[in-house]
Amino acid sequence: MTKTTADAALILNTISGIDNNDSTSANNSVPDYTTALGEGVRGLTIGAVKQAFGEGVQSGVANACKNALEKLEHAGAKIQEIELPTTLTYGLPAYYILAMSEASTNLAKYCGMRYGMQDIKNEHYNDYFTRIRTTHLGKEAKRRILLGTFARMAGHRDAYYLRAAQARTLIIKEYQRLFAHVDLIATPTMPFIAPKLKEIQELTPLQNYLADIFTVGPNLAGMPHISMPVEMSQGMPVGLMLTANHFQESKLIQTGDTFEHTKNRT
């Protein structure tokens, strides 16, 4: 969303806080996030997730993120190895079951009446909805509608949707246990560099979803996180993702800002 951490702090100042039209917003006091700029990282403990730098992660990506953590360590942060077994095992399936279930309900309104392409003809409404949605929804949207509807069906809800919701609770608890010992959690943003268009076309849906293995956890748990470009690998940028506890965005701002300054000095 922004080119610098300072710009991210300015945006946070604008979008944070209670919104009376949004039931999911929190009625908490909002600090001035720009005051975290220049604070440095001395005294902060960053937990580097062991599994996120090993098998399945491109060596160039892992090395770039390790180098970034070393720079933060030289700037005063303490780097500590941690593990996220529950999140990395169940985060991806739980996220996609919940996300697809929500997508199937949200996309239901795109039936060609109030929302979506309108091309009303003299036909049965079921035929009309089917024609509109078949013609104008993309392959991935249809896949998510089908999978999400299946997961919410009466005969499958307990086995899929409710299990995924329970997994989300376990993931939140795992993060909370870790945040009792560390201030931030570090992983690569993606396990590989951005693929070329022709390479994307060759990926299966499952391979596409696996690209999100490190980002689904914070989203499921509702944890704030930031992705910082740290180095280049094979001519493509590599991102380091830092995750903080609920309402601890200031730690992300001060760490991102510190890294940018150490990067500029080198």
Q: What is the pLDDT along the chain (266 residues), one digit of tens a residue?
A: 899 999 999 999 999 999 989 888 888 899 999 999 999 999 999 999 999 998 889 999 999 999 999 999 999 999 999 999 999 999 999 998 999 999 998 888 888 888 888 888 888 888 888 898 899 899 889 988 999 999 999 888 899 999 999 999 999 999 999 999 999 999 999 999 988 888 888 877 777 778 899 999 999 999 999 999 999 999 999 999 999 999 999 999 999 999 998 876 65
Q: Are residues 164 and 84 in the same domain?
A: yes
Helices 139-152, 85-106: crossing angle, 10 deg rounding: 100
Write phi, then psi, for 185 (nearest 5 degrees). Answer: -120, 130
Range of the domain at 136: 91-152
Domain boundary at 99, 130, 152, which? 152
Q: Is the dihedral of CA 182, 216, 10, 176 positive or negative?
A: negative
- Count other Cβ atoms within 10 Å, centred on residue 149: 17
User: Looking at 126, 152, 178, which one is the last position of a domain?
Assistant: 152
Asked whether residue 140 falls in the same domain as residue 224, the answer is no
59 and 166 belong to one structural domain: yes
232: which strand partners?
237
What's the CA gap between 160 and 148, in Å, rounded? 10
Report if residue 140 sits inside a domain. yes
Bridge partners of 23, per DSSP, are none
- In terms of domains, do 170 and 143 share one? no
Taking the C-alpha atoms of residue 123 and residue 130, their distance in angstroms, rounded to an integer, is 11
- 3 occurs within a structural domain: no
Helix (H, G, I), strand (E, B) or coil at 118: coil
Domain count, the chain: 2
Asked if residue 55 is part of any domain, the answer here is yes
Domain-ending residue, one of 100, 125, 152: 152
The CA-based angle 52-58-61, given to 5 degrees, is 75
What's 202's DSSP letter? H
Same domain, 140 and 226: no
75 & 100 share domain: no
Residue 19 lies in a domain: no
pLDDT at 266: 56
- Are 75 and 196 within one domain? yes
Q: For residue 104, is it within any domain?
A: yes
Residue 34 lies in a domain: no
Q: Are residues 73 and 111 in the same domain?
A: no
Task: Say what the pLDDT of residue 121 is.
Answer: 84
95-101-105 Cα angle (round to 5): 145
β-strands 45-49, 78-82 pairing:
parallel
Regarding whether 80 and 137 lie in a shared domain, the answer is no
Instruction: Assess whether 181 and 254 both reside in one domain.
Output: yes
50 within some domain: yes
Q: Is the entire prediction scored with pTM above 0.85?
A: yes
Same domain, 202 and 117: no
Assess if residue 185 is contained within a domain.
yes
Long-range contacts of 135-141 (CB under 8 A, 24+ apart): 136/110, 136/112, 137/107, 137/110, 140/205, 141/103, 141/107
Q: Are residues 182 and 73 in the same domain?
A: yes
User: The domain that contains 164 carries what CATH number?
Assistant: 3.90.1300.10
